Chain A
Amino acid sequence: MRLALVDDGGPFGRGVETTIEGASGGAVAVVGRTDDHRAAVDLVRRRRPHVVLLDLALGPAGMAALRELHRSTPVTRVVAVAEEADVTLVSTTFRAGAHGLLLASTAPEDLVAPILAAASGHCVLPGALLPSLVGTAVARRPELLDTLTPEDCQLWRMVADGVETMQIAETLFVSERTAKRMVALLLRRLGVSNRIQAAALAGQAGLLDSNPGVGVSA
């Protein structure tokens, strides 16, 4: 696996090439290193690394280099390195085309496994940021959804979207009176006293989260 480094020497220091190559047991070869973000694309074109370890510390220059690498050499996977990271930086970095985000405090020998994982198509990020990314930092009540039929959920979604009774009736091909009765029944089952509370609960329960239905394979 061919690796290139783009950093100002800050996070990794001298000799990191040897440390990484040694810790990888020969699996990783460092094929180039530059401290100039503007030279990153040129380095990648010449040395053809599988993975670039890119220091984001230089602010806009680092992120610009990431975007430029993703645009010009999309097959090269970029693992970004930051002094500190939050979920917003995770979004920005991966949206810009990175396959990884690691902390600069990571020991050089601990960089090897994430770099190899990124090389084989996985995304790697600090584990502590995963809960806020997947939304488990928020109290969810998915078990509520399990007790409802798909029809209940459809009705609940309409209520949560602020759809009026008349429109609900039209969508479901029932009379307005029946629609009213159905909504009242739904609210009772949810244990709420009005539509606003039903909407709030729908948001909490995860009913309104987008439902990714596509395959995992790249």
Chain B
Amino acid sequence: MVDGDVLTVVLVDDHQLFSRGLELLLNTDPESRVRVLARTEDASRALELVRHHRPKVAIIDLVMPPPGGLAAVELVKRNYPEVRVLALSGNDDVKSAVDALRAGADGFLLKSSEPDELVPPLIALASGVAVVPAPVMNALLDAKASSGETRLAGLGAEDIALLRLVAAGLESIEIAEQLHVSERTAKRLVAALLRRIEVANRVQAAAFAGRAGLLELGPSGSPAAP
């Protein structure tokens, strides 16, 4: 953060006591690094608040009445990707944290943190650093590991092209035609590919491909044929 650059914040939290306390705390930061521009208790007003005040950071509680904090995170990030979103929750629940990060949040903090412990993460977030509790980080790493990232890393462009054909549901004979090889060679290529990605059959290969993000979405919502 550049010196003299005040970190502007809006708060979206239906819990008035917490929200007012946080506002007070942030506005009385000894070095006046932070200024809360506005607060709302209504998740449906989050976007309006951001549009009007253009803060550097929007702090959004995830546990709020409908439309809820998650929807607010998603809406703010979709319309104002440059605004950093810090998701908060009183719930000790890794899944809601991961959901918030998937919806675009730049960081997640537990409300049970000591109030003055919220300031450094907030400043870090504003400077482009993502902040998450250690158990959430571990969950993200576990999910990443099981998504097949490592199995994917060893595949070349030709392997991936073949995997896409398999995932589109093409029969060996059709794959053979696409690749201009014999059906027997196509079968052999597919078998070798399945071994490399450590799956037992073509169905699992398709699931793997979908999960690894190798497939485009077709118009009907189904994976598009190549």
Contacts and interface: CB of A to CB of B under 8 A. Distances in A.
Interface string B192-219: 0000000011111011111111011100
B123 interface: yes
Interface residues of B, number: 77
Contact of B133 (A123, A126, A194): A123
A212 interface: yes
B123 A113 contact: yes
A136 to B, nearest CB: 5
A25 B223 contact: no
Given A126-B129, A191-B222, A209 B213 contact: no
A47 interface: no
A214 B134 contact: no
Interface string A120-133: 11111111111001
Contacts, number: 222
Given A134-B101, A162-B203, A218-B133, A113 B120 contact: yes
A195 B102 contact: no
The range of chain A's interface size is 35 or more
Contacts of A94: 137-138, 141
Contacts of A213: 94-95
B169 A124 contact: no
Contacts of B122: 113
Contact of B169 (A159, A191, A194): A194
B132 interface: yes
B143 A210 contact: yes
A182 interface: no
Name, among B1, B120, B145, B217, the residue most crowded by chain A CB atoms within 10 Å (CB to CB).
B120
Given A117-B121, A210-B143, A125 B169 contact: no
A61 interface: no
A204 B223 contact: yes
B156 interface: no
A112 B168 CA distance: 50
B158 interface: no
Interface of A: 25, 87-88, 91, 94-95, 99, 102, 109-110, 112-117, 120-130, 133-142, 144, 159-162, 190-197, 199-206, 208-218
Interface of B: 1, 3, 30-31, 84, 89, 91-95, 97-98, 101-102, 104, 106, 109-110, 112-114, 117, 119-125, 127-147, 149, 153, 166-169, 200-204, 206-213, 215-217, 220-223
